[in-house]
Protein backbone atom coordinates (compact mmCIF):
# COMPACT_ATOMS: atom_id res chain seq x y z
CA UNK A 1 0.00 0.00 0.00
CA UNK A 2 1.47 3.39 -0.96
CA UNK A 3 2.33 5.77 1.84
CA UNK A 4 0.06 8.76 2.36
CA UNK A 5 1.85 11.99 1.48
CA UNK A 6 1.86 14.89 3.87
CA UNK A 7 1.31 18.43 2.52
CA UNK A 8 4.63 20.30 2.78
CA UNK A 9 2.98 23.27 4.53
CA UNK A 10 1.96 21.12 7.47
CA UNK A 11 5.17 19.16 8.16
CA UNK A 12 6.40 18.77 11.73
CA UNK A 13 9.64 20.44 10.81
CA UNK A 14 7.87 23.69 9.78
CA UNK A 15 5.76 23.66 12.93
CA UNK A 16 8.71 23.22 15.23
CA UNK A 17 10.52 26.07 13.49
CA UNK A 18 7.58 28.38 14.10
CA UNK A 19 7.30 27.41 17.75
CA UNK A 20 10.98 28.08 18.36
CA UNK A 21 10.60 31.77 17.45
CA UNK A 22 10.42 34.06 20.52
CA UNK A 23 7.16 36.01 20.93
CA UNK A 24 7.32 39.60 19.73
CA UNK A 25 6.88 42.19 22.47
CA UNK A 26 3.88 44.47 21.94
CA UNK A 27 4.70 48.14 21.78
CA UNK A 28 2.99 50.58 24.11
CA UNK A 29 2.13 54.20 23.23
CA UNK A 30 1.95 55.16 26.92
CA UNK A 31 -1.28 57.10 26.51
CA UNK A 32 -2.45 59.20 29.42
CA UNK A 33 -5.58 58.03 31.23
CA UNK A 34 -8.75 59.52 29.80
CA UNK A 35 -10.35 62.26 31.90
CA UNK A 36 -13.79 61.32 30.51
CA UNK A 37 -14.76 59.44 33.66
CA UNK A 38 -18.40 58.80 34.46
CA UNK A 39 -18.58 61.42 37.20
CA UNK A 40 -16.99 64.03 34.96
CA UNK A 41 -19.43 63.32 32.13
CA UNK A 42 -22.41 63.65 34.47
CA UNK A 43 -21.06 66.98 35.70
CA UNK A 44 -21.22 68.52 32.22
CA UNK A 45 -23.72 71.33 32.10
CA UNK A 46 -24.95 74.00 29.72
CA UNK A 47 -26.60 77.32 30.49
CA UNK A 48 -28.49 77.47 27.20
CA UNK A 49 -31.40 75.25 28.26
CA UNK A 50 -33.25 78.17 29.81
CA UNK A 51 -36.72 79.09 28.57
CA UNK A 52 -35.71 82.59 27.46
CA UNK A 53 -32.90 81.17 25.31
CA UNK A 54 -35.32 78.76 23.64
CA UNK A 55 -37.73 81.57 22.82
CA UNK A 56 -34.88 83.66 21.45
CA UNK A 57 -33.82 80.85 19.13
CA UNK A 58 -37.37 80.46 17.80
CA UNK A 59 -37.60 84.20 17.11
CA UNK A 60 -34.25 84.29 15.32
CA UNK A 61 -35.18 81.26 13.25
CA UNK A 62 -38.27 83.08 12.02
CA UNK A 63 -36.16 86.12 11.14
CA UNK A 64 -33.71 84.02 9.12
CA UNK A 65 -36.57 82.26 7.34
CA UNK A 66 -38.03 85.65 6.46
CA UNK A 67 -34.61 86.74 5.22
CA UNK A 68 -34.46 83.76 2.84
CA UNK A 69 -37.87 84.57 1.36
CA UNK A 70 -36.99 88.24 0.86
CA UNK A 71 -33.52 87.74 -0.66
CA UNK A 72 -33.49 88.47 -4.39
CA UNK A 73 -30.87 87.79 -7.02
CA UNK A 74 -29.23 84.51 -7.97
CA UNK A 75 -25.84 85.18 -6.39
CA UNK A 76 -27.34 86.58 -3.18
CA UNK A 77 -29.60 83.54 -2.72
CA UNK A 78 -26.78 81.09 -3.36
CA UNK A 79 -24.43 82.91 -0.99
CA UNK A 80 -27.08 82.85 1.73
CA UNK A 81 -27.59 79.11 1.30
CA UNK A 82 -23.82 78.57 1.41
CA UNK A 83 -23.53 80.70 4.56
CA UNK A 84 -26.30 78.74 6.30
CA UNK A 85 -24.53 75.49 5.46
CA UNK A 86 -21.16 76.71 6.69
CA UNK A 87 -22.70 77.99 9.93
CA UNK A 88 -24.28 74.58 10.52
CA UNK A 89 -27.91 75.81 10.65
CA UNK A 90 -29.11 74.81 7.17
CA UNK A 91 -31.01 71.80 8.58
CA UNK A 92 -33.59 74.23 9.97
CA UNK A 93 -34.41 75.49 6.46
CA UNK A 94 -34.37 72.39 4.29
CA UNK A 95 -37.68 73.31 2.65
CA UNK A 96 -36.61 76.86 1.77
CA UNK A 97 -33.21 75.68 0.50
CA UNK A 98 -34.76 72.98 -1.67
CA UNK A 99 -37.15 75.53 -3.14
CA UNK A 100 -34.31 77.94 -4.00
CA UNK A 101 -32.09 75.26 -5.54
CA UNK A 102 -34.99 73.72 -7.47
CA UNK A 103 -35.76 77.10 -9.05
CA UNK A 104 -32.07 77.54 -9.92
CA UNK A 105 -31.92 74.06 -11.43
CA UNK A 106 -34.99 74.73 -13.57
CA UNK A 107 -33.37 77.88 -14.94
CA UNK A 108 -30.20 75.95 -15.72
CA UNK A 109 -32.18 73.29 -17.58
CA UNK A 110 -34.00 75.91 -19.64
CA UNK A 111 -30.86 77.98 -20.31
CA UNK A 112 -32.58 81.16 -19.22
CA UNK A 113 -30.28 82.09 -16.33
CA UNK A 114 -28.76 85.37 -17.45
CA UNK A 115 -26.87 87.27 -14.76
CA UNK A 116 -26.32 90.92 -15.59
CA UNK A 117 -22.93 91.19 -13.86
CA UNK A 118 -19.25 91.23 -14.63
CA UNK A 119 -17.71 88.05 -15.94
CA UNK A 120 -15.78 87.53 -12.71
CA UNK A 121 -18.97 87.76 -10.64
CA UNK A 122 -20.68 85.48 -13.15
CA UNK A 123 -17.96 82.85 -12.64
CA UNK A 124 -18.35 83.11 -8.87
CA UNK A 125 -22.11 82.60 -9.11
CA UNK A 126 -21.76 79.77 -11.64
CA UNK A 127 -19.19 77.88 -9.57
CA UNK A 128 -21.24 78.32 -6.39
CA UNK A 129 -24.38 77.23 -8.21
CA UNK A 130 -22.62 74.13 -9.57
CA UNK A 131 -21.26 73.15 -6.14
CA UNK A 132 -24.52 73.60 -4.24
CA UNK A 133 -26.59 71.74 -6.83
CA UNK A 134 -24.11 68.85 -6.87
CA UNK A 135 -24.04 68.74 -3.07
CA UNK A 136 -27.84 68.50 -2.92
CA UNK A 137 -28.12 65.77 -5.55
CA UNK A 138 -29.20 67.81 -8.56
CA UNK A 139 -27.96 66.77 -11.99
CA UNK A 140 -25.86 69.59 -13.46
CA UNK A 141 -23.26 69.45 -16.21
CA UNK A 142 -19.86 71.11 -16.33
CA UNK A 143 -21.09 72.83 -19.50
CA UNK A 144 -22.62 75.57 -17.32
CA UNK A 145 -19.12 77.06 -17.18
CA UNK A 146 -19.14 77.59 -20.97
CA UNK A 147 -15.57 76.39 -21.17
CA UNK A 148 -14.13 79.07 -18.86
CA UNK A 149 -12.12 76.95 -16.41
CA UNK A 150 -9.17 79.18 -15.62
CA UNK A 151 -9.28 82.26 -17.77
CA UNK A 152 -6.65 84.83 -16.83
CA UNK A 153 -9.40 87.44 -16.56
CA UNK A 154 -10.29 86.00 -13.17
CA UNK A 155 -6.80 86.21 -11.67
CA UNK A 156 -7.58 89.40 -9.77
CA UNK A 157 -10.87 88.08 -8.37
CA UNK A 158 -9.68 85.62 -5.75
CA UNK A 159 -13.26 84.99 -4.58
CA UNK A 160 -14.17 83.58 -8.00
CA UNK A 161 -11.00 81.48 -8.09
CA UNK A 162 -11.81 80.08 -4.64
CA UNK A 163 -15.38 79.33 -5.70
CA UNK A 164 -14.15 77.48 -8.81
CA UNK A 165 -11.59 75.60 -6.67
CA UNK A 166 -14.29 74.33 -4.31
CA UNK A 167 -16.56 73.39 -7.22
CA UNK A 168 -13.82 71.48 -9.03
CA UNK A 169 -13.55 68.99 -6.16
CA UNK A 170 -17.14 67.91 -6.83
CA UNK A 171 -16.28 66.85 -10.36
CA UNK A 172 -16.72 63.28 -11.58
CA UNK A 173 -14.53 61.19 -13.89
CA UNK A 174 -16.54 62.55 -16.79
CA UNK A 175 -15.89 66.23 -15.92
CA UNK A 176 -12.42 66.24 -17.44
CA UNK A 177 -12.24 70.00 -18.04
CA UNK A 178 -13.42 70.80 -14.54
CA UNK A 179 -10.91 68.40 -12.99
CA UNK A 180 -8.13 70.15 -14.91
CA UNK A 181 -9.10 73.44 -13.24
CA UNK A 182 -7.93 72.04 -9.89
CA UNK A 183 -4.33 72.61 -10.94
CA UNK A 184 -4.89 76.20 -12.07
CA UNK A 185 -6.98 77.26 -9.07
CA UNK A 186 -4.64 75.61 -6.55
CA UNK A 187 -1.65 77.36 -8.10
CA UNK A 188 -3.48 80.71 -8.11
CA UNK A 189 -4.63 80.39 -4.49
CA UNK A 190 -1.15 79.46 -3.27
CA UNK A 191 0.27 82.45 -5.09
CA UNK A 192 -2.32 84.66 -3.40
CA UNK A 193 -1.33 83.37 0.04
CA UNK A 194 2.38 83.80 -0.64
CA UNK A 195 2.00 87.36 -1.91
CA UNK A 196 -0.27 88.55 0.90
CA UNK A 197 1.07 89.28 4.35
CA UNK A 198 -0.62 87.31 7.16
CA UNK A 199 -3.73 89.24 8.15
CA UNK A 200 -5.82 88.01 11.06
CA UNK A 201 -8.75 90.17 9.92
CA UNK A 202 -8.82 89.03 6.28
CA UNK A 203 -11.72 86.58 6.00
CA UNK A 204 -11.00 85.64 2.38
CA UNK A 205 -7.37 84.89 3.28
CA UNK A 206 -8.46 82.61 6.12
CA UNK A 207 -10.85 80.76 3.82
CA UNK A 208 -8.22 80.35 1.10
CA UNK A 209 -5.68 78.91 3.55
CA UNK A 210 -8.26 76.52 5.00
CA UNK A 211 -9.48 75.45 1.55
CA UNK A 212 -5.93 74.62 0.47
CA UNK A 213 -5.59 72.38 3.53
CA UNK A 214 -8.78 70.52 2.65
CA UNK A 215 -11.81 71.39 0.44
CA UNK A 216 -14.93 72.42 2.32
CA UNK A 217 -17.19 69.48 1.44
CA UNK A 218 -14.63 66.97 2.79
CA UNK A 219 -14.58 68.50 6.26
CA UNK A 220 -16.57 67.52 9.37
CA UNK A 221 -19.69 69.69 9.44
CA UNK A 222 -19.86 70.58 13.15
CA UNK A 223 -16.16 71.36 13.43
CA UNK A 224 -16.35 73.50 10.31
CA UNK A 225 -19.37 75.35 11.71
CA UNK A 226 -17.48 76.20 14.90
CA UNK A 227 -14.59 77.58 12.87
CA UNK A 228 -16.76 79.53 10.42
CA UNK A 229 -18.82 81.20 13.15
CA UNK A 230 -15.71 83.16 14.16
CA UNK A 231 -14.83 83.95 10.54
CA UNK A 232 -18.35 85.08 9.67
CA UNK A 233 -18.33 87.44 12.64
CA UNK A 234 -15.49 89.40 11.01
CA UNK A 235 -17.04 89.74 7.54
CA UNK A 236 -18.11 93.21 6.41
CA UNK A 237 -21.63 92.07 5.43
CA UNK A 238 -22.24 89.98 8.56
CA UNK A 239 -25.88 89.73 9.64
CA UNK A 240 -26.11 90.05 13.48
CA UNK A 241 -29.31 88.00 13.74
CA UNK A 242 -27.87 85.17 11.66
CA UNK A 243 -24.65 85.15 13.68
CA UNK A 244 -26.50 85.10 17.00
CA UNK A 245 -28.77 82.31 15.75
CA UNK A 246 -25.77 80.24 14.66
CA UNK A 247 -24.07 80.62 18.06
CA UNK A 248 -27.19 79.71 20.04
CA UNK A 249 -27.98 76.77 17.76
CA UNK A 250 -24.43 75.43 18.10
CA UNK A 251 -24.73 75.51 21.89
CA UNK A 252 -28.13 73.81 21.82
CA UNK A 253 -26.77 71.02 19.62
CA UNK A 254 -23.91 70.67 22.09
CA UNK A 255 -26.48 70.15 24.87
CA UNK A 256 -28.01 67.29 22.86
CA UNK A 257 -24.59 65.70 22.38
CA UNK A 258 -23.84 65.99 26.10
CA UNK A 259 -27.16 64.36 27.03
CA UNK A 260 -26.47 61.50 24.61
CA UNK A 261 -23.00 61.08 26.10
CA UNK A 262 -24.45 60.88 29.61
CA UNK A 263 -26.95 58.23 28.54
CA UNK A 264 -24.21 56.16 26.91
CA UNK A 265 -22.05 56.46 30.02
CA UNK A 266 -24.89 55.20 32.22
Quote the distance between the C-alpha of residue 126 and its chain's center: 19
Task: Confirm whether pTM is higher than 0.95.
Answer: no
Report the pLDDT value the prediction gives residue 156, as an integer from 0 to 100: 60
Select from 3.10.560.10, 1.50.10.130, 2.60.40.420, 3.40.190.10 the CATH code of 49-247.
1.50.10.130
DSSP 46: -
**142 vs 227: CA distance, rounded Å:** 30
Q: Which residues make Cβ contacts (< 8 Å) with residue 170, sequence separation at least 6?
A: 130, 131, 134, 135, 217
Report the pLDDT value the prediction gives residue 153, as an integer from 0 to 100: 47
Cβ distance 105 to 132 under 8 Å?
Answer: no
Angstrom CA distances, 94 to 86, 137, 233, stand at 14, 13, 24
| Backbone phi, psi, residue 30, to 5° | 55, 50
Percentage of residues in the chain having pLDDT higher than 90: 41
> Can you list the pairs that 7-10 forms with residues at least 24 positions away whose Cβ atoms lie under 8 Å?
none
52-100, pLDDT tens digit by residue? 778 899 999 999 999 998 988 888 999 999 999 999 999 999 999 999 9
- Mean pLDDT score, 145-151: 62
**142 vs 134: CA distance, rounded Å:** 11
In 3D space, the residue among 245, 210, 244 whose CA is nearest the CA of residue 91 turns out to be 245
In 3D space, the residue among 174, 86, 165 whose CA is nearest the CA of residue 128 turns out to be 165
Cβ distance 182 to 169 under 8 Å?
Answer: yes
Q: Among 62-76, 94-108, 174-188, 192-206, where is mean pLDDT lowest?
A: 192-206
pLDDT greater than 50 at residue 163:
yes
Percentage of residues in the chain having pLDDT higher than 70: 80
95-140, pLDDT tens digit by residue? 999 999 999 998 887 764 454 444 444 788 889 999 999 999 999 8
Q: Among 33-47, 120-134, 147-161, where is mean pLDDT lowest?
A: 147-161
DSSP 33: P
Report, in angstroms and rounded to the nearest whole number, the Rg of the chain calculated over CA atoms.
27
**237 vs 239: CA distance, rounded Å:** 6
- Mean pLDDT score, 28-43: 79
Domain definitions of the chain by residue range: 49-247
pLDDT greater than 60 at residue 195:
yes
Report the pLDDT value the prediction gives residue 102, as an integer from 0 to 100: 94
Amino acid sequence: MPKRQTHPRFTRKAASKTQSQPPEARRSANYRPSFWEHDYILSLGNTYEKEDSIERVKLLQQEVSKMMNETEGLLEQLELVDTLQRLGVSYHFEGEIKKILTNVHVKVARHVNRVDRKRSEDLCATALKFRLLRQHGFNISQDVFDGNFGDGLYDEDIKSVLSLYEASYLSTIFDTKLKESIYYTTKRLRKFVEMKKPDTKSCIQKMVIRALEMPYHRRVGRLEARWYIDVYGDTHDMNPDLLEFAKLDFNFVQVIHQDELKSLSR
